[in-house]
């Protein structure tokens, strides 16, 4: 079997954050969160990373990231392009927003030809998740038998607004349902979701997908039809902002009986920068990890 590949979703526009948060500095030595993820992935055994970006951001990524990690891991780029749509699809005039993470996943179909994992650029997952997924991709993944690493929902929320999460339901260690819940916040008693104008307390220890998936290339053909059908149904209703995301695609494929997804939980703390106000907390946490010896001061020395 081919060596597992790390794929990182880094083509988002960061509209809520207010900038290119994928390479924004959060580490004490000029690192972004993506630096820590790649460092953890290398320690887990990964030897190649594919960065899914927008073409116009390539120079920024080379300057701020890939030039630093040259020689540490093989690097390739895949480009999420608005014009990369099914034949016959007309891209609406004025559309700037990417088509979402399902489309981003499909953007690397010409670059990835073996088992791979995919995750977000602006989320800190911790070393355990990468070790767990690397072993899964080496030993278990096959055909349409995939995997995911999830996190306790309450531990994935921000103090500064609502978030969208893929809420997981599982049976006998496999994902049975994945619901995309668009407005979740941190309440006084735990995670709350908005339902019909009211805030409803969610079950403790609910597992959330943070876009940490293990796939084979078969996922590309499975998602191509889903994405095509989505565009046909959504372009007329919301031509400038409609998007399709990986949790929705995975949930639909599970419901259709086309795939199974093993659920693995991480013992590490997740955190990210959904909003700019999240940044100081991320900076402090990563600095604390360095002081505790989890990471060296200079990751790429």
Indicate whether 270 pLDDT > 80. yes
Instruction: Look up residue 45 and give its two tokens.
Output: 């055994």
Domain containing 206 equals 5-291
**Structural domain includes residue 196:** yes
Average pLDDT, stretch 60-86? Answer: 94
Indicate whether 14 pLDDT > 60. no
**Structural domain includes residue 301:** no
CATH number at residue 200: 3.90.550.10
Instruction: Provide the phi-psi class of 178: left if phi over 0, else alpha when psi is between -120 and 50, else beta.
Output: beta
Q: Does the pTM exceed 0.95?
A: no
**Structural domain includes residue 143:** yes
**Structural domain includes residue 177:** yes
What is the pLDDT, as a whole number, of residue 19? 55
Q: How many domains does the chain have?
A: 1
What is the pLDDT, as a whole number, of residue 206? 87
Q: Which residues contact 234 (CB under 8 A, 6 or more apart)?
A: 242, 244
**Structural domain includes residue 298:** no
Cα dihedral 169, 36, 20, 213, rounded to 10, equals: -30
Separation between Cα atoms, residue 236 and residue 240, nearest integer Å = 10
Angle at 186 between CA 181 and CA 191, to 5 degrees: 55
**Structural domain includes residue 296:** no
Confidence category of residue 17, pLDDT binned at 50, 70, 90: very low
Tell me the HSE value of 110 on the side-chain side, using a 13 A CA sphere: 6
Indicate whether 16 pLDDT > 90. no
DSSP string, 207-255: EEEEEEEEE-THHHHHHHHHHHHHHHHHTTT-TTT----HHHHHHHHHH
Average pLDDT, stretch 146-172? Answer: 89
What is the pLDDT, as a whole number, of residue 86? 94
Q: Treating both helix axes as pointing N-terminal to C-terminal, what angle do 279-291 and 33-44 enclose, rounded to 10 degrees? A: 40
Q: Which residues contact 153 (CB under 8 A, 6 or more apart)?
A: 165, 167, 184, 191, 202, 206, 207, 208
**Structural domain includes residue 244:** yes
**Structural domain includes residue 234:** yes
Average pLDDT, stretch 240-258? Answer: 94
Percent of the chain exceeding pLDDT 70 equals 97
Identify which has the larger pLDDT, 40 or 21: 40
């Amino acid at each position: 079997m081919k060596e597992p590949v790390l794929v990182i979703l880094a083509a988002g526009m960061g509209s809520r954050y207010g900038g290119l948060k994928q390479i924004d500095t959060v580490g004490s030595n000029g690192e972004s969160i993506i630096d820590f993820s790649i460092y953890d992935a290398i320690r887990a055994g990964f030897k190649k990373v594919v960065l899914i970006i927008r073409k116009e951001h390539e120079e920024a990524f080379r300057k701020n990231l890939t030039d630093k990690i040259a020689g540490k891991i093989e690097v390739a780029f895949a480009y999420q392009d608005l014009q990369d749509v099914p034949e016959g699809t007309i891209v609406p005039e004025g559309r700037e927003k990417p088509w979402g993470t399902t489309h981003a996943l499909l953007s690397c179909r010409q670059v990835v030809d073996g088992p791979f994992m995919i995750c977000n650029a602006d989320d800190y997952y911790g070393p355990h998740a990468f070790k767990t997924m690397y072993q899964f991709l080496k030993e278990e993944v096959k055909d349409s038998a995939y995997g995911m690493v999830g996190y306790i929902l309450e531990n994935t929320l921000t103090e500064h607004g609502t978030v969208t999460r893929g809420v997981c339901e599982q049976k006998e260690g496999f994902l049975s349902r994945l619901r995309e819940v668009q407005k979740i916040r941190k309440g006084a008693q735990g995670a709350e979701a908005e339902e019909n104008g009211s805030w409803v307390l969610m079950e403790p220890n609910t597992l959330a997908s943070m876009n940490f998936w293990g796939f084979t290339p078969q996922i590309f053909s499975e998602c191509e039809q889903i994405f095509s059908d989505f565009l046909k149904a959504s372009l007329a209703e919301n031509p400038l902002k409609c998007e399709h995301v990986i949790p929705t695609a995975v949930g639909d494929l599970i419901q259709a009986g086309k795939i199974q997804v093993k659920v693995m939980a991480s013992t590490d703390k997740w955190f990210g920068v959904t909003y700019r106000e999240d940044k100081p907390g991320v900076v402090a946490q990563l600095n604390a990890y360095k002081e505790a010896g989890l990471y060296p001061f200079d990751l790429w020395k």
